[in-house]
Amino acid sequence: MASNAPVGKPTDMSSPRLPKVAGIDSTVPAPPHTVAPLPGVPLAAPPSDAALPPGVLIQDRLASWVSDLTTLHELTERLIKTDSLDGALREMLGAGAALVGARRGMAVLEPADGLGPTSTIGLGLAHADLGTIETVPRGSGSYGRLLDGLPEAEPPGAGLPDADPPEAGLPGNGPTAPRRPARVPEPIAIRDVRTEEGLDPRHREVAARLGYAASYALPLATEEAGRLGAAVWLYDEPAEPDERRRHLIGLYGRFATEHLARLLQVERARARVATVAEELLPSRLPRVPGVRLAVRHLTGPQGGGDWYDALPLPEGALGLAVGSVSGTGPSALAAMGRLRASLRAYAVMEGEDPVAVLSDLELLLRLTEPARSATALFAYAEPAQRRIVLAGAGHAPPLVVGDHRTEFVETSLSAPLGMLTCWEAPSVELSPAPGETVLLYTDGLLRRTGDATDRAFARLHAAASSVPRADRSDPGAVADHVLRTLLPGGLDPAVEGEDVVLLAARFE
């Protein structure tokens, strides 16, 4: 009885096939690497014995691919934890150096839309070294060619053979048709700077001065994000990454670019919010005889509703105000702008009576924005007489700083604006001595310390008391000393929280 013969090619059907692993091209060979990777993130070295049995070779290659996947996972996990453009660029440079087997490098952030921000970060290069590299003509440097040579998005059909003209009104035609994503340029490898053709003599001179012999440049660009910049790694000896390393750095580079694109959007949003907040506040402080003014305004990532004002009033008087509205973000900024503009109008009409100014402000807030509350402090100052009349609505009391005293002004307790059906509280009058500085501030200064309210007030008093005598004649130096003492690390822009306003008025 004849046996059944197999159909087709038995050898091809029964031969083992390499498995496909997501994100890794199984056709890419895995030659051994010679440069140490990042600490704790080893790159797997494939077997060097070409005579191994097929099964063993497959297992070793599979183990190498799994190791590569693990490496990329750990590197991307490190990158995703960065929350600033500077931090992401530095992490990307370090990880890329391990993947391509280099020791030094630099990254240039230069978005193609020209809206910024721009920056240059170095790995193993001093600031002067970066400046030296930037003297190389951009057309000769690999990273410069990537930055200047990325094509912009082309309209659909560009580069295709001519066809019949599209009919008007059909989908996809006309000025609103979607644009084809920009093409991403290929990485540029210069294996030996000394022998590479077409390089500018200045490029070879800089390479000899800094001691590098080869480079590998990667575009920080994807079809979706466009061009954000470029990274270049420098080798001490003539070299270039092998095919496996190119594949890994390409995968990592695409992920890094998308992460940088997200951080860029966040950074631009923060910059716009900060710009709007600054435009809603005075562009400069007025000059009034008998008093010197200084202000410090620190803004959080979302942009809070803290504000200040200083406006000259009739007969040489001066109006000083600080306050905050509830909430953060654009809506709080808009409410802050409306509140500040209204207070200016009331101050011009009846500024000598701070209680009347805040009462009018309370009525306006209650009628126009019933769901919002605000705190405010308004002071009517007559510098020539060194006389101040002030009233506060749910606001922290001012602080008087001088050679012979540092004390809080005793003000009456009052609810914030918008909390009562009718707001009214007695005003307080004080007379600063010559050379004394009155500090007006928002609650954000106290809350940003992270302490309980009583502890924060005590720290503020201690900070004001410790102002060096030589700095007490300058209101700006007084404000800076208080901020450095209370917030030694500054205002972390990545940490959610209230804004900080500190307005200092020194009376002559």
pLDDT tens digits for range 150-199: 443 333 333 334 434 444 433 344 444 444 555 788 999 999 999 998 89
The verdict on 369 and 422 lying in the same domain is yes
The verdict on 319 and 451 lying in the same domain is yes
Q: Is residue 477 part of a domain?
A: yes
The verdict on 203 and 292 lying in the same domain is no
The verdict on 79 and 138 lying in the same domain is yes
Burial of 353 (0-12, 13-18, 19+ CB in 10 A): middle
pLDDT band at 326 (very low <50, low <70, confident <90, very high): confident
Contact 468, 429 (CB under 8 A): no
Chain-wide mean pLDDT for the chain?
82
Q: Lay out the sheet containing 387-393: strands in order across.
A: 304-313, 317-328, 374-382, 387-393, 428-430
Final residue before a domain boundary, out of 249, 272, 295: 272
Split into its structural domains, the chain has a count of 2
The verdict on 224 and 322 lying in the same domain is no
Residue predicted with more confidence, 130 or 275:
130
The verdict on 132 and 198 lying in the same domain is yes
The candidate with the shortest Cα–Cα distance to 65, out of 94, 97, 25, is 25
Final residue before a domain boundary, out of 220, 250, 272: 272
The verdict on 309 and 195 lying in the same domain is no
DSSP 113-127: TS----EEEEES--H
The verdict on 231 and 252 lying in the same domain is yes
Interval 12-36: pLDDT, tens: 433 334 344 334 444 444 443 444 4
The verdict on 141 and 190 lying in the same domain is yes
Helix (H, G, I), strand (E, B) or coil at 391: strand
> What is the arithmetic mean of pLDDT over 311-317?
94
- Could you give the C-alpha distances from 150 to 145, 223, 387, in angstroms and in order? 8, 11, 65
The verdict on 450 and 403 lying in the same domain is yes
| Amino acid letter, residue 98 | A
Q: Is residue 243 part of a domain?
A: yes
- Give pLDDT, residue 175: 43
Q: Give the number of residues written for the chain.
A: 508
Contacts of 242 (CB under 8 A, 6+ apart): 31, 33
Q: Is residue 178 part of a domain?
A: no
Q: What tokens does 464 get? A: 């004001």
Q: Is the pLDDT of residue 422 over 50?
A: yes
- Give pLDDT, residue 152: 39
The verdict on 351 and 203 lying in the same domain is no
CATH of the domain at 291: 3.60.40.10
Q: Is residue 1 part of a domain?
A: no
Residue predicted with more confidence, 11 or 465:
465
CA atoms within 13 A on the CB side of 274: 12
- Give pLDDT, residue 90: 96
The candidate with the shortest Cα–Cα distance to 406, out of 453, 469, 452, 359, is 469
Q: Is residue 420 part of a domain?
A: yes
Q: Is the pLDDT of residue 446 over 60?
A: yes
CATH of the domain at 215: 3.30.450.40
Determine the Cα–Cα distance for residues 240 and 192; give it in Å rounded to an integer: 9
Q: Is residue 394 part of a domain?
A: yes
Interval 368-406: pLDDT, tens: 888 888 999 999 999 999 999 999 998 899 999 999 999
The whole domain housing 64 covers 24-150+183-272
Determine the Cα–Cα distance for residues 323 and 339; give it in Å rounded to an integer: 9
Contact 320, 381 (CB under 8 A): yes
Q: Is residue 161 part of a domain?
A: no
Determine the Cα–Cα distance for residues 427 and 424; give it in Å rounded to an integer: 9
The verdict on 315 and 414 lying in the same domain is yes
Final residue before a domain boundary, out of 250, 272, 294: 272
> What is the arithmetic mean of pLDDT over 234-251?
94
487-493 long-range contacts (CB < 8 A, ≥24 apart) are 487/448, 487/449, 490/298, 491/298, 491/299, 491/300, 491/448, 493/270, 493/299, 493/300, 493/301
Q: Is residue 170 part of a domain?
A: no
Q: Is the peptide bond before 10 cis (omega within 30 degrees of 0)?
A: no
- Give pLDDT, residue 157: 36
